[in-house]
Amino acid sequence: MKQARHGSTVTVSYIGTLDTGRIFDSTETSGPLTFTIGNDQVFSALEQAIIGMAAGETKNILIPAAEAYGPRLDANIIKVKREMFPAERELRIGEKLRIEFSGGRERILVILEADQKEVTLDGNHPLAGCDLTFALRLDALQ
């Protein structure tokens, strides 16, 4: 039976959950994920878990935070003056903002706090610091 290896193009269905049991992502709504093992399109730990699987095989894996989105870092939380935003702009806690930094790099930051003087923004990935559990099924293998 053919098994997934480095260079294989695979199609995978999955349900991703957190320690709390909350589903953070699933291919049930977006359709299966297709990628080539070794092309850095998904977490390396996910690729390693799929290597050796055959089409139709299922597996549950845990990817520690350090191998997923990394730890939550205080350095990714910044405070800026409220005047950096137009005065008429309503800022809502939890709102995502696309911010362009020097060099043309864009990042998505989330508003944590906002008052008349300053705005606190979080640049951590929403799943930073979280261990991720995946229930996988290898649907197809090329």
Place of tokens 């995978």: 12
Q: What is the mean pLDDT of residues 5-17?
A: 97
Buried-exposed string 73-84: b where 16+ CB fall within 10 A, e elsewhere: eeebbeeeeeee
User: Does the model's pTM come out above 0.85?
Assistant: no
Return the C-alpha torsion angle 67, 60, 140, 24, nearest 10: -60
Q: What is the mean pLDDT of residues 76-96?
A: 94
The verdict on residue 55 lying in a domain is: yes
State residue 102's pLDDT score: 83
How is residue 128 annotated by DSSP? T
Q: What is the domain-level CATH number for residue 86?
A: 2.40.10.330
Asked if 110 and 128 touch (Cβ cutoff 8 Å), the reply is no
Domain that holds residue 136: 9-70+127-141
Report phi then psi at 84, rounded to 5.
Answer: -70, -15
Query: Do residues 14 and 64 share a domain?
Result: yes
Q: What average pLDDT does the structure give for the chain?
A: 95
Q: What is the domain-level CATH number for residue 40?
A: 3.10.50.40
- Confidence class of residue 28 from pLDDT cuts 50, 70 and 90? very high
The verdict on residue 1 lying in a domain is: no
Query: Do residues 23 and 49 share a domain?
Result: yes
State residue 103's pLDDT score: 86
Query: Do residues 16 and 60 share a domain?
Result: yes
Q: What is the mean pLDDT of residues 62-89?
A: 95
State residue 115's pLDDT score: 94
The verdict on residue 46 lying in a domain is: yes
When divided into structural domains, the chain yields a total of 2
Query: Do residues 56 and 21 share a domain?
Result: yes
Percent of the chain with pLDDT over 70: 100
- Confidence class of residue 51 from pLDDT cuts 50, 70 and 90? very high
Q: Is the pLDDT of residue 99 over 90?
A: no
Q: Helix, strand, coil proportions of the chain in percent (round to 5)?
A: 15, 40, 45
State residue 31's pLDDT score: 92
Query: Do residues 54 and 90 share a domain?
Result: no
- Confidence class of residue 105 from pLDDT cuts 50, 70 and 90? confident
State residue 100's pLDDT score: 87
CA atoms in the 13 A half-sphere facing the CB of 14: 23
Q: What is the mean pLDDT of residues 103-115?
A: 92
Query: Do residues 47 and 66 share a domain?
Result: yes
Query: Do residues 14 and 34 share a domain?
Result: yes
The verdict on residue 2 lying in a domain is: no
Please spell the DSSP secondary structure of 21-88, one letter per residue.
Answer: S-EEEEHHHH--EEEETTSSSS-HHHHHHHTT--TT-EEEEEE-GGGTT----GGGEEEEEGGGS-TT
The verdict on residue 136 lying in a domain is: yes
